Amino acid sequence: MRKPVTLAVTLAAGLSVAAALAAFHLVFEIPAGLPSEAQAQTSQPSRSQTPPPPTVTVARPVRREIVEWREFAGRFEPSAAVEIRGRVAGHLASIDVEDGALVEAGQLLFTIDPRPYRAALDEARAQLASATAQVELADLELNRAEQLVSSNAVSQSTLDQRRQQKKAADAARALAEATLSRAGIDLGFTQVRAPFAGRISNRRLDIGALVSDGAILTTLVALDPLYFVFDISEQDLLAYRQAAESGTLPLLYGRRIAVEARGQADRDWPHKGTIDFVDNRLEAGAGTLRARAVIANAGDAVIPGQFGRVRLPFSGAYPAMLVPETALITDQADRAVFTVAEDGTVASTRIQLGPRQSDGLRIVRGGLDPEDRVVVGGLMRVRPGQKVTAQVADAAPRAAALAPTAASPAN
């Protein structure tokens, strides 16, 4: 009897498990439309397909004849600057120019009351006339004494006195002439005139004020030409001397170095000039050499005191290869560019750089061939060894479009 009971229990347990499986299938029934396992395995290859290579812009290096320039910061200064001071004392009679006006050389600026000095001039003239009369009288008496001494009508002592009187009269006349000249100079100093052309500042005294001898009345600065004063580092000095010794540049102290200057708001280099002074020693603390250029300033385009930049040629004209500044990358301690081979493979090419040009291009001294295709656009999308699609462009216009303005020059 035990075997039938055991069989019945086993059958009942099997039926219970089947019922539980059926219920589970009903609760967790797979929604319609979802892919089955076979379908998922079939669609898996389509998801893992390789994306297309990124597109980048490439250009060949620009080749042209250039001159290497180096820029230096400095300040525009007047070529002449003076304080206009009164050279005689007196009351200020008139102000003959407006504050801040442009003046010409010799133009009347101020007038000090001339009446006391005109009177002193008349007095000096009268003294000169009196001294001249005394000279004439001394001449007559000396001539008479010389005629009478031969006949012993006058003594030799009298003749000596007449000669001394003549010398004293001549000295008195010379003194009167000097006094007259000084009086005329003082009268001329009552008219204060501009020593050179330029622009004056505001007046320091008003009409009626007492002008003491040496009192400042205003200041005057020359505007054309201007000086541009700047400092050359010792490294730049050695580089220029090396280039000058090769014969491609004039000597530093030859005063024939042509320069170009610009203000902070200028986009190009509108001001031309030449270096006219280089100091005779380096500054011990800074290690720089003071230099000065004479810059033409027609139309008063630059105001003295403005900051600006000047550039000097550091080479003669030679053919060079250039790439855009924006195409440069850093490869550890070196500078490099991305180049694209004919099969579209990207490579990092290390290069040796020269100075930067004003149009956003950079001189390449070595490491690059003229036919290399340099990545100039899309650098963030590529890496060495990657395949890319290259679109050819011209490097020069692209660099010029991305070049910074004069308001924010690159270092």
pLDDT band at 157 (very low <50, low <70, confident <90, very high): confident
pLDDT at position 50 is: 76
Ordered structural domains, the chain, with CATH: 56-66+317-402 (2.40.420.20), 69-79+225-313 (2.40.30.170), 82-221 (2.40.50.100)
Question: What average pLDDT does this structure show over 79-95?
Answer: 95
pTM over 0.85: no
Cα distance between residue 283 and residue 287, in whole Å: 5
Q: Residue 44 — very low, low, confident or very high, per pLDDT cuts 50/70/90?
A: low
User: What is the phi/psi pair of residue 222, to 5°?
Assistant: -85, 140
128 within 8 A of 245, measured Cβ to Cβ: no
Per-residue pLDDT of 201-224, as tens digits, reads 999 999 999 999 899 999 999 999
**Rounded-to-integer distance, Cα 264 and Cα 254, Å:** 29
Residue 119 vs residue 247, higher pLDDT: 119
Query: pLDDT averaged over the chain?
Result: 84
Dihedral sign computed on CA atoms, order 397, 403, 407, 411: negative
User: Residue with structure tokens 């009345």?
Assistant: 217
Angle at 374 (CA atoms; ends 372, 377), nearest 5 degrees:
160
Could you tell me how many residues make up the chain? 411
Banded model confidence at residue 372, pLDDT cuts 50, 70, 90: very high
* Predicted confidence (pLDDT) per residue in 94-143, tens digit: 999 999 999 999 999 999 999 999 999 999 999 999 999 999 999 998 88
User: For residues 393 and 376, is the Cβ–Cβ distance under 8 A?
Assistant: yes
**pLDDT (0 to 100) of residue 6:** 43
pLDDT at 265: 87
- Look at residue 61 and tell me whether its pLDDT is greater than 60: yes
